[in-house]
Amino acid sequence: AQSVSQHNHHVILSEAASLELGCNYSYGGTVNLFWYVQYPGQHLQLLLKYFSGDPLVKGIKGFEAEFIKSKFSFNLRKPSVQWSDTAEYFCAVKNKAAGNKLTFGGGTRVLVKP
């Protein structure tokens, strides 16, 4: 079965610092990759997605992610975070071999100090 690993459970950083969140998945082949974000008190929202083409994907709010097939990774980055980026971030993977089921990682809580 597909599994998704997010290496950091908690990240604390100051405003203007750069952010990188790791995500690795277990199964190769054709995959669709997603990052969802959950701001405090809000529901899960799509941040960005990859399904084909340029492995560097740009999402909302200045976020981007890079798909590296050889490393089974889809790391999320933002060059300069703001206090409003405080949230929980979830990586998710979907692939045909797993019945197109969307499998989530355990999430990373990010706290941005003003």
Please identify which residue in 21, 67, 81, 105 interacts with other proteins, judged by CB under 8 A. Answer: 105
CA-to-CA distance for 102 and 56, rounded, in angstroms?
A: 21
Q: Which is nearer to other proteins, 17 or 72 (CB)?
A: 72
Using rule CB under 8 A, residue 70 touches other proteins: no
Count of beta carbons in the 10 Å neighbourhood of residue 43: 7
CA-to-CA distance for 16 and 95, rounded, in angstroms?
A: 35
Q: Which is nearer to other proteins, 96 or 113 (CB)?
A: 96
CB of 109 vs other proteins, minimal distance in Å: 9
CA-to-CA distance for 27 and 82, rounded, in angstroms?
A: 34
CA-to-CA distance for 86 and 111, rounded, in angstroms?
A: 5
Q: Which is nearer to other proteins, 37 or 81 (CB)?
A: 37
Residues engaged in binding other proteins (CB under 8 A): 4, 6, 9, 30-32, 34, 36, 42-46, 49-52, 90, 92, 94-96, 99-107
